[in-house]
Amino acid sequence: MNMGSRDLIRRAASGDMDAFAELFEPLRGFVYAVAYRLVGPDSADDVVMDTFLKAWRGMPRFRRGASLKTWLYRIAHNCALDHIRSRSRRGEVPLPDDDPEDYRQLPDTKQESPDHIMERNEDIQRVHQALARLPEVHRIALQFRYTDGLSYSEIAAATGVSMGTVMSRLFNGKQKLRVLLETEMNHE
């Protein structure tokens, strides 16, 4: 963390809204992606708002040596889980997201045949469906690592578990995902 970031954190922790905005605005897309993946498109904006509100309130308690991104990720994850719990208490059932392309960009299709694109989209859909069937701890670890690109130590900090537990969850999650995908392929 450089000197300018430390100063922004210090200022934000003491109530400077401009410093807070300067620190967190570059992370808005990251928080939205986390929220979208966990609660879907209809509730992602609410989770983002809750996340930034809790981060604002929690700034005075932020440990200056910690990673801001990891800290914010943990808040976003917890806000999303709170939102899911609240939704289930109200009896709301989210509609399945049949179009996984809403939040990701396809590669340039000018050089690919429509058949190839359809096959890839079907593969992506299979992976999304298999991920959804994994236990939450494995799914989250895999998404942190392979979707968000977090390091093992960042995943450990974001989830509040040891590095060994992160490694175990990633290993077991990949094994379970492989079995789910192979089973599905054998049933086709």
91 plus 169 within the same structural domain: no
27 plus 69 within the same structural domain: yes
124 plus 183 within the same structural domain: yes
Strands (E), the chain: none
75 plus 153 within the same structural domain: no
87 plus 127 within the same structural domain: no
* Model pLDDT, residue 91: 62
Residue 148 forms part of a structural domain: yes
* Model pLDDT, residue 92: 52
pTM above 0.75, yes or no: no
* Model pLDDT, residue 114: 59
Secondary structure of residue 126 in the 3-state scheme: helix
* Model pLDDT, residue 8: 87
* Model pLDDT, residue 3: 65
- C-alpha span between 128 and 16 (Å, rounded): 41
CATH number at residue 152: 1.10.10.10
- C-alpha span between 183 and 103 (Å, rounded): 27
Full 3-state SS string of 43-54: CHHHHHHHHHHH
Residue 105 forms part of a structural domain: no
CATH number at residue 60: 1.10.1740.10
Sequence-ordered list of residues with C-beta below 8 angstroms from that of 173, at least 6 positions apart, any chain: 134, 137, 138, 139, 141, 142
* Model pLDDT, residue 158: 81
Residue 104 forms part of a structural domain: no
* Model pLDDT, residue 187: 72
* Model pLDDT, residue 46: 92
Domain extent for 164: 112-188
Domains contained in the chain, number: 2
Which of 51, 66, 95 terminates a domain? The answer is 95
* Model pLDDT, residue 106: 44
The mean pLDDT values, 10 residues at a time, for the chain of 188 residues are: 77 90 90 87 90 92 82 89 78 49 46 62 80 89 84 83 90 91 78
- Joined tokens for residue 148: 């968000």
